[in-house]
């Protein structure tokens, strides 16, 4: 596993911990704004992990595909993911 994937994995583990904490906050009937702020923080970790994975994909899979005449398909894949990100 390369360093970038390790960073993405760490961000996902952090998000998982935050989500567990959010569940506990809801169970404990904590203040709604505090819960909302934690949801925002967990979402940011998920976005961070996704950006790391996408960058890694561009730097490795897409580059490799262009070297073997398969770059156009990889571009379509990336554009599809970016469209999903922008549409939300």
Domain limits, the chain? 3-87
Please give the pLDDT value at position 87. Answer: 87
Task: Give per-residue pLDDT as tens, 32-82.
Answer: 999 999 999 999 999 999 999 999 999 999 999 999 988 899 999 999 999
Residues constituting the chain: 88
At residue 86, does pLDDT exceed 80?
yes
At residue 85, does pLDDT exceed 80?
yes
Q: Work out the percent of the chain whose per-residue pLDDT is above 90.
A: 90
Instruction: Give 22's DSSP letter.
Output: H
The predicted model scores a pTM of: 0.85
CATH number of this structure's domain 3-87: 1.20.58.1000
Q: What is the DSSP string of 40-55?
A: HHHHHHHHHHHHHHHH
Cα–Cα dist 88/85, whole Å: 6
Contact between 22 and 35 (Cβ < 8 Å): yes
């Amino acid at each position: 596993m390369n360093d970038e994937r390790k960073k993405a994995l760490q961000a996902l583990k952090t998000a998982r911990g935050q989500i567990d904490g959010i569940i506990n906050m809801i169970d404990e009937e904590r203040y709604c704004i505090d819960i909302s702020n934690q949801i925002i923080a967990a979402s940011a970790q998920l976005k961070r992990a996704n950006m790391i994975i996408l960058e890694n994909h561009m730097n490795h899979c897409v580059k490799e595909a262009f070297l073997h005449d398969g770059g156009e398909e990889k571009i379509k894949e990336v554009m599809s993911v970016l469209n999903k990100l922008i549409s939300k």
